Chains A and B, each alone.
Chain A
Amino acid sequence: MTMLTDVRPAPGAHVRRRGPSAWRHLDFVLIGAVLLVSAFGVVMVWSTTRVPLETAGRSGLYVAKKQAEYVVLGAGVMLAVAAVDYRRYRDWAWLLYAGTVLALVAVFGVGHRVSGSQAWFKIGPYQFEPAELAKMALAVCLAAYAAHFRGRLPARAAGVILALTVVPFVLVYKQPALGSALVLLAIAAVVIVVGGARGRLLAVLAAAAVVTVVAVVELGVLKGYQRLRIISFLRTPNNVSARLLQTPAGASIFNLVRSKDAIAHGGLLGQGIGHGSATNLSQVPAQSTDFIFSAVGEQVGLVGCAALLAVFLVVIWRTWQAAVLSRDAFGRLVCAGVLGYFVFEIFENIGMTMGLMPVAGIPLPWMSYGGSALLIEFACVGLVLNVRMRRFS
C-alpha cells in the first residue's frame, strides 16, 4: 500500500494539507450586517457624546474614534475566532469555563469599581469586563456538554446545564450586574430547548421560571433599585424633573421617561442625524451606552428604527441558519446559544428604552459604547461564521 500511495512530497516542497478552504463559505451577509450595525453604532456614539465633549473643550470625535477602534479590533477578533476550527473549542470548553469562573471570582478581589459595580479588570488604559466573556464561554461550554446527548436531553442533563449556569450567574449577579446575569439564563434556556429537552421538562422549567420571577420580585431578593426598576417600568409617571435623579429609583424612572420622550421626538422620519435636541442636550442619561437606542429613535425616526431592526433580524436569521446548517450538534448548539444571547440583548435593550421591558444594564449589541461587550459580540459572530463555513468539512 505504501508504495502506491507514497505521495510524500520532497522535503521543502509546498504542501496543501487540507481540502478546499472553508473560507470560501464565509457568510458575507452576516459580516456585512454586523459591520453595518457597528458603523451605524459609531455614528450614534458620536451623536451622543460630541456635545458634552465639545462643551468640555475636547474633540467631539474622541469617544466615537475609540468606538471605531473597538469595531476594527472586534472585526479582527471575529476573524481570528473563525479561523480556528470550532471543534477545537469543544476540547477547550472546560478550560474556557474554568478560566471565566476564575476571572469572575478574581474581579471581586482585584477588580475596578465603576458606578457601583465591581465588574472590571483594569489593564493599562483599558478595562475588561469578564461578565461579557462569561456569555461566550457559557454558550460554548453548554453546547459542548449538551452535544453529547444528540438531541435527546434528559432531565439530568438539563439539571447539569442549569448548575453550570448558576455559578457564573450568581457571580455576575453579585457584581452586581443583573442584566448580564439574565443573558446567561437566556443562553442556557435556548441550549436546553434546542438541545432536545422533552416537552414535559420544558413545561416544568417554564413554570418554575415564572414562579421564581414572581417570588424574586415579591420577596425582596432583589436590591431596592432593581425592584424599583421593575415597578417603575410597570407604573411610569408622566412627568419627571432632574431632581428625581437624586434617588436611585428616581434615576431609572427618569431615564426611562427621558428615553421614551427622545424616541417619540423622532417621529416618523427622525430629526436627522446630529439634530435631535434630546440627544444634543444629553437629556437621556447613559445614552451612549445602554440607552443608545433613544438616540437612534430621535435621529432616524420610525423608518430608520425599522431598518435597524431589519438589519438585526438579518444577523439573527443568519445565526439561526448557521445553527440549522451546522454539520454537528455542537456547532448547532453553539449557534443556538449565541442566538439566545443576541436575541435577548437586542430585545431587552430596545424594549427597555421604550418602556416595553424593565430597565436592566444590558448593552445594545454592536452599538452601545464599550469595548468588552463589542469584542465578545464580534467573537460570537466569529463562532457563528466558524460553524457555518465548516459545515462541509
Chain B
Amino acid sequence: MVTVPEHTDSTRFRLTVILVVVGCLFASLLVRLWFLQVVQAPAADKQVVAASYVTVYVPAPRGEILDRYGRVLVANRQVPVIEDVQAAASDTGLVSRLAALLGMTVEATRAAILNNQYSPLAPVPIYLGASAAQILYIQEHRSLFPVGEVAATTADTPYVTPLGESAGELLGYVGQVTAQELPILQKAYPAKHYAAGDIVGQAGLEEEYERYLAGIPGRIEYEVNAQDQVLGVYRSIPPVPGDNLRLTIDARLQQVADEAILQGEKAARGMPASPQAGHYKAPAGAVVAEDPRNGQIVAMATEPAYDPNWFDQGITKTEYRQLAKEPGVFENLAIQGQFAPGSTFKLVTATAGLESGLVTPNYIFNDTAGVIRIGNQLFHDDNGIGAGYIDLATALTVSSDNYFNMIGARLWDGRSSFGDDYLQKVARSYGFAQPTGIDLPSEMPGWVPTVAQLAREPKSSGGPWYTGYSAQMAIGQWQDEVTPLQLANAYSTFANGGTRYRPRLALDVELPDGRVIKRFQPVVAGHSVALSATDRSAMIQGYLGVVNSPNGTAAGDFLRTSLSNAGIAGKTGTAQVQCRGCQVTSVFTSFGPASSPRYVIDCFMEDAGYGASIAAPVVREVWDQILHKKLQPPAYTTATGSAT
C-alpha cells in the first residue's frame, strides 16, 4: 500500500516556525528572569523583609511624679480594661453583647473596636475601668465572648494619689494625643515613637515634662504571612518606662495651702462685703510658697481645681463642658490669674523712692490728714484717717497709701530726671510685667502699663498719662496686674538681697530605681534695683511691723499667736477691682525668717475682702505648718511601691 504523502514540506515549515516562536517565548522568559533576579534583586530583598514583619508597639508606663521628699504624687495604676480585636467588629452578635454588658450603644461599641489608631494586630482597649462583675461575666461566658476576641486585662494608667490631689492643676493631666499634638511630638522626640492613640501629658507638669515622663514603647515584631496572619514573634523589645520627676513641692505644705484656701473661701463667704453687696463671693484663690534662695516652689495651690483623675479614663466632651462651666477650673490661678496687687506693690514703690533719692528711710511724711492732693485730685488713705508723721518703715507697716501716692506722683513730676517709666523699670527688675519663666505651660505675663504703651491705647481707655496714674500705680491699683507667682518671686528677690531666680517646680529627673539622671540647677533671671543695706533693712523693719507690730495691718492675724515674733515679715494688699459685681481682692505676702529668709508665701483671694481678713490667715496656716508641723505626715506610698 502506498502511503499518501500527508507530510508536506509546508507542514514541516510551519512546525519549524512554531519551534522558533517557542524559542523566542522562552528567550523572553529568560530575559525577564535576568532582569528580576539580577537587576532588581537588591531592591526585592528589602521588600521581602518589609513584607515579613509587622511591628506592634507596646505602650511604656509613664514616669511617676514625686514631691521633694520622694512621696508619690502621680503613680501608675493598673486599670481593668476590656479589649477586643478589630476582626470581631463584623460579628454583630458579639458587638451587641459587649454593648449590653458595658452599657454602651452598639454603634459606639463598634466604633470603639474599629479604632484605626491601633494596629490591626493589636487588641483595642474599648472599655477602661471595667468592674469586677463585668470581667467575671466575660470570663464565665466564654462561649459568648470568645477567648481570642475579647480579653479582660489591665492597662497602666497614670493616676494622681490622694496626696497629689491638692496639686491637681499643677500636675495637669494626660489624655489621648490629639491630631494637632501628634506631629509636634513626633518631630520633637523621635525616639519615643509617638503614634496615634498614645497617652500624653496635656496640661501642667505632665505636659511640661512630657519628654522625661513618657517612656519608650516596647516593640513586638511579628513574622506575618501575606494575609497578615501572625506566624511567630521575630523579636520583642520591652518598653522602657518613663523617668520619674521629682518636684520642689512639699506635698504636706501643698495640702495645707490648699485646705487653707478652702477655709479662707468659707470664711470670706460668711463675711458681709458691704450693706448693699451682700457677702463676699470668694470663688477662687491661690497660694504660692517659694524658696527665695533658689527659686524653688515648695507649694502652689489653687482653687477651684480639677482632679486629674477625672481625665484618667477619658473625659467626654459633655463632661468637659460641665466642668468648664465653673469659672477658672481649668486655670492654674497661680500663673494664669492676673490680679491687681494692691498695697503689696509698695515693694516696688518703696524701692523706687529710696533708689531715686526721693525719700530716705528717715524721711518723715506728714500723713495726719489721711488725704493728699495730687494735681486737682484728692487721694484718700484707705482707712480715711491719717497715720500721723511716718517714716518709710511705718508707711509699710500701716500701709499708708498717701506716702506711696506721693512717691508715685513725685516720680512722674520729676520724670525729666528719672525718666518716664522709672516705677515700671523698678517693677520689671522685680520680675513684673513679664513671665517668670516657671516650668509650666501657658504662664501669663502680668501687666504694668508704661507711658509709651498708654500712648498707643485709644483715648477711651483713659487718655494720656498724668500724675494721678502714677499715684495710683504706686499703690498697686489702676492697671497693675500681677500673678500670684510673680508677686512671690518679686518678694523672693527682695528677701534674698536682689537676685531674681527663675521659679521652678522640677528638682531632678530620676530613673525608676532612684538614680538621678538630671538635676535642675537654680537659674538667675535677673537682679532687682540694688538697695543699700540701710534702705533694705528699713524696708524689712516695715514688713516685720506688718506682722509683729501692734499697728501692723496684719497684726490681728499673727500677734497673739505662736507665730508672732517668729521672724515673719509680710505685707497686706486689698485691691480694688474695677468691674461690675467685682469685690476687692484679698492679698497677703510674707517672707521669713527675716534675718535669712527661707520661704516667701503669698496668697490671692478673689472677691474676698481685705488682705488682713482672708489672705493673711491663709498664709498664716502655711507658716504654722512650716514652723510647727501641726499636720501629721499623711498616709502615702513610697516611690518604689505601686499605689493602688
| A and B pair up | yes
Binding site for B on A (CB under 8 A): 51-52, 55, 150-151, 190, 193-194, 196, 239, 242, 245, 254, 258, 260-268, 277-278, 281-285, 297, 301-302, 305-306, 309, 312-313, 316-317, 320, 323-324, 326-329, 332, 336, 339, 343, 347, 350-351, 354-356
- Chain B residue numbers with a CB within 8 Å of A302 are 33-34, 37-38
- Chain B residue numbers with a CB within 8 Å of A355 are 32
What does the 1/0 interface line of B225-258 toward A look like (CB < 8 Å)? 1111001000000000000000000000000000
Contact A267 B38 (CB under 8 A): yes
Query: A258 with B51: in contact, given A51-B231, A264-B44, A302-B34 (CB under 8 Å)?
Result: yes
Contact B225 A282 (CB under 8 A): yes
> Which partner residue on chain B sits nearest A306 by CB separation?
B30
Contact A320 B29 (CB under 8 A): no
Query: A245 with B48: in contact, given A150-B6, A324-B15 (CB under 8 Å)?
Result: no
Which one of A260, A326, A350 lies within 8 Å of B44 (CB-CB)? Answer: A260
Given A51-B231, A267-B41, A283-B51, 19 other A-B residues pairs in contact with their CB atoms under 8 A: A151-B7, A196-B8, A264-B40, A265-B41, A265-B44, A265-B47, A267-B38, A268-B37, A268-B41, A278-B48, A278-B51, A281-B231, A282-B226, A285-B227, A309-B30, A317-B19, A320-B19, A329-B6, A343-B25
Which 5 pairs show the lowest CB-CB distances between chains A and B? A264-B44, A282-B225, A302-B37, A267-B41, A329-B6
Interface residue range, chain B: 35 or more
What does the 1/0 interface line of B26-56 toward A look like (CB < 8 Å)? 1011101110111011011101110110000
Indicate the member of B12, B28, B38, B225 with the most A CB atoms within 10 Å.
B225
Contact A297 B36 (CB under 8 A): yes
For the complex formed, measure the closest distance between the CB of B521 and the CB atoms of chain A, giving whole angstroms.
Answer: 50
Q: Is B532 an interface residue (CB 8 A)?
A: no
> Which partner residue on chain B sits nearest A354 by CB separation?
B32
> Which partner residue on chain B sits nearest A251 by CB separation?
B226
Q: Report the separation of the CA atoms of residues A138 and B225 in the bound assembly, to the nearest whole angstrom.
A: 40
Binding site for A on B (CB under 8 A): 3-4, 6-8, 10-12, 14-15, 18-19, 22, 25-26, 28-30, 32-34, 36-38, 40-41, 43-45, 47-49, 51-52, 223-228, 231
Q: Report the separation of the CA atoms of residues A316 and B25 in the bound assembly, to the nearest whole angstrom.
A: 12
Which one of B8, B29, B43, B227 lies within 8 Å of A242 (CB-CB)? Answer: B227
Which one of A263, A266, A277, A285 lies within 8 Å of B226 (CB-CB)? Answer: A285
For the complex formed, measure the closest distance between the CB of B270 and the CB atoms of chain A, giving whole angstroms.
Answer: 66
- Chain B residue numbers with a CB within 8 Å of A262 are 44, 48
Query: A196 with B48: in contact, given A151-B6, A264-B37 (CB under 8 Å)?
Result: no
Q: Report the separation of the CA atoms of residues A190 and B29 in the bound assembly, to the nearest whole angstrom.
A: 21
Contact A194 B29 (CB under 8 A): no
- What are 19 pairs between A and B in contact, CB < 8 Å? A52-B225, A150-B4, A151-B10, A194-B11, A239-B47, A258-B51, A261-B51, A263-B33, A266-B41, A267-B41, A278-B48, A278-B52, A281-B231, A282-B225, A302-B33, A302-B34, A302-B37, A351-B29, A351-B32
Q: Report the separation of the CA atoms of residues A245 and B224 in the bound assembly, to the nearest whole angstrom.
A: 14
- Chain A residue numbers with a CB within 8 Å of B7 are 151, 326, 332
- Chain A residue numbers with a CB within 8 Å of B38 are 267-268, 302
Indicate the member of B10, B40, B41 with the most A CB atoms within 10 Å.
B41
Contact B51 A356 (CB under 8 A): no
> Which partner residue on chain B sits nearest A328 by CB separation?
B6
- Chain A residue numbers with a CB within 8 Å of B14 are 193-194, 196
> Which partner residue on chain A sits nearest B36 by CB separation?
A264
Contact B25 A263 (CB under 8 A): no
Which one of B18, B33, B37, B224 lies within 8 Å of A193 (CB-CB)? Answer: B18
Q: Report the separation of the CA atoms of residues A318 and B608 in the bound assembly, to the nearest whole angstrom.
A: 108
Which one of A277, A317, A326, A336 lies within 8 Å of B48 (CB-CB)? Answer: A277
- Chain B residue numbers with a CB within 8 Å of A317 are 19
Contact B48 A261 (CB under 8 A): yes
- Chain B residue numbers with a CB within 8 Å of A55 are 231
Q: Report the separation of the CA atoms of residues A193 and B231 in the bound assembly, to the nearest whole angstrom.
A: 51
Contact A309 B29 (CB under 8 A): yes
Which one of B37, B41, B51, B228 lies within 8 Å of A305 (CB-CB)? Answer: B37
> Which partner residue on chain A sits nearest B230 by CB separation?
A55
Indicate the member of B6, B8, B12 with the most A CB atoms within 10 Å.
B6
- Chain A residue numbers with a CB within 8 Å of B8 are 151, 196
- Chain A residue numbers with a CB within 8 Å of B11 are 151, 194, 196, 332
> Which partner residue on chain A sits nearest B43 by CB separation?
A264
Contact A350 B52 (CB under 8 A): no
For the complex formed, measure the closest distance between the CB of B359 and the CB atoms of chain A, giving whole angstroms.
Answer: 79
Q: Report the separation of the CA atoms of residues A60 and B19 in the bound assembly, to the nearest whole angstrom.
A: 40
Indicate the member of B6, B14, B36, B228 with the most A CB atoms within 10 Å.
B36
Q: Report the separation of the CA atoms of residues A151 and B33 in the bound assembly, to the nearest whole angstrom.
A: 38
Contact B226 A309 (CB under 8 A): no
Query: A265 with B6: in contact, given A194-B11, A281-B225, A282-B225 (CB under 8 Å)?
Result: no
Q: Report the separation of the CA atoms of residues A383 and B261 in the bound assembly, to the nearest whole angstrom.
A: 103
- Chain B residue numbers with a CB within 8 Å of A327 are 3
Contact B15 A283 (CB under 8 A): no
For the complex formed, measure the closest distance between the CB of B120 and the CB atoms of chain A, giving whole angstroms.
Answer: 8
- Chain A residue numbers with a CB within 8 Å of B228 are 242
Contact A305 B33 (CB under 8 A): yes
> Which partner residue on chain B sits nearest A55 by CB separation?
B231
Contact A267 B37 (CB under 8 A): yes
Q: Report the separation of the CA atoms of residues A242 and B52 in the bound assembly, to the nearest whole angstrom.
A: 11
Contact B37 A301 (CB under 8 A): yes
Q: Report the separation of the CA atoms of residues A285 and B19 in the bound assembly, to the nearest whole angstrom.
A: 33
Contact B6 A190 (CB under 8 A): no
Contact A320 B18 (CB under 8 A): yes
Contact B29 A336 (CB under 8 A): no
Q: Report the separation of the CA atoms of residues A234 and B34 in the bound assembly, to the nearest whole angstrom.
A: 20
Q: Report the separation of the CA atoms of residues A51 and B223 in the bound assembly, to the nearest whole angstrom.
A: 12
Contact A245 B26 (CB under 8 A): no
Q: Report the separation of the CA atoms of residues A190 and B34 in the bound assembly, to the nearest whole angstrom.
A: 29
Contact B33 A245 (CB under 8 A): no
Q: Report the separation of the CA atoms of residues A284 and B231 in the bound assembly, to the nearest whole angstrom.
A: 15
Q: Report the separation of the CA atoms of residues A268 and B11 in the bound assembly, to the nearest whole angstrom.
A: 40
- Chain B residue numbers with a CB within 8 Å of A265 are 41, 44-45, 47-48
- Chain A residue numbers with a CB within 8 Å of B231 are 51, 55, 281-282
> Which partner residue on chain A sits nearest B28 by CB separation?
A356
> Which partner residue on chain A sits nearest B53 by CB separation?
A281
Query: A242 with B226: in contact, given A258-B51, A306-B33 (CB under 8 Å)?
Result: yes
Indicate the member of A151, A190, A316 with the most B CB atoms within 10 Å.
A151
Q: Report the separation of the CA atoms of residues A336 and B22 in the bound assembly, to the nearest whole angstrom.
A: 12
Contact A277 B52 (CB under 8 A): yes
Q: Report the separation of the CA atoms of residues A264 and B26 in the bound assembly, to the nearest whole angstrom.
A: 18
Query: A309 with B18: in contact, given A268-B37, A284-B226 (CB under 8 Å)?
Result: no
Contact B26 A309 (CB under 8 A): yes
Q: Report the separation of the CA atoms of residues A263 and B37 in the bound assembly, to the nearest whole angstrom.
A: 7
- Chain B residue numbers with a CB within 8 Å of A52 are 225
Q: Report the separation of the CA atoms of residues A52 and B460 in the bound assembly, to the nearest whole angstrom.
A: 82
For the complex formed, measure the closest distance between the CB of A161 and the CB atoms of chain B, giving whole angstroms.
Answer: 15
> Which partner residue on chain A sits nearest B23 by CB separation?
A313
For the complex formed, measure the closest distance between the CB of B236 and the CB atoms of chain A, giving whole angstroms.
Answer: 18
For the complex formed, measure the closest distance between the CB of B593 and the CB atoms of chain A, giving whole angstroms.
Answer: 69
Q: Report the separation of the CA atoms of residues A277 and B52 in the bound assembly, to the nearest whole angstrom.
A: 8
Q: Report the separation of the CA atoms of residues A306 and B38 in the bound assembly, to the nearest whole angstrom.
A: 13
> Which partner residue on chain A sits nearest B8 by CB separation?
A151
Q: Report the separation of the CA atoms of residues A285 and B48 in the bound assembly, to the nearest whole angstrom.
A: 14
- Chain A residue numbers with a CB within 8 Å of B33 are 263, 297, 302, 305-306, 354
- Chain B residue numbers with a CB within 8 Å of A266 are 37, 41
For the complex formed, measure the closest distance between the CB of A148 and the CB atoms of chain B, giving whole angstroms.
Answer: 11
- Chain B residue numbers with a CB within 8 Å of A261 are 44, 47-48, 51
For the complex formed, measure the closest distance between the CB of B78 and the CB atoms of chain A, giving whole angstroms.
Answer: 33
Indicate the member of A283, A309, A313, A328 with the most B CB atoms within 10 Å.
A283
For the complex formed, measure the closest distance between the CB of B14 and the CB atoms of chain A, giving whole angstroms.
Answer: 5
Q: Report the separation of the CA atoms of residues A343 and B28 in the bound assembly, to the nearest whole angstrom.
A: 13
> Which partner residue on chain B sits nearest A342 by CB separation?
B22
- Chain A residue numbers with a CB within 8 Å of B43 are 264
> Which partner residue on chain B sits nearest A351 by CB separation?
B29
Contact B41 A245 (CB under 8 A): no
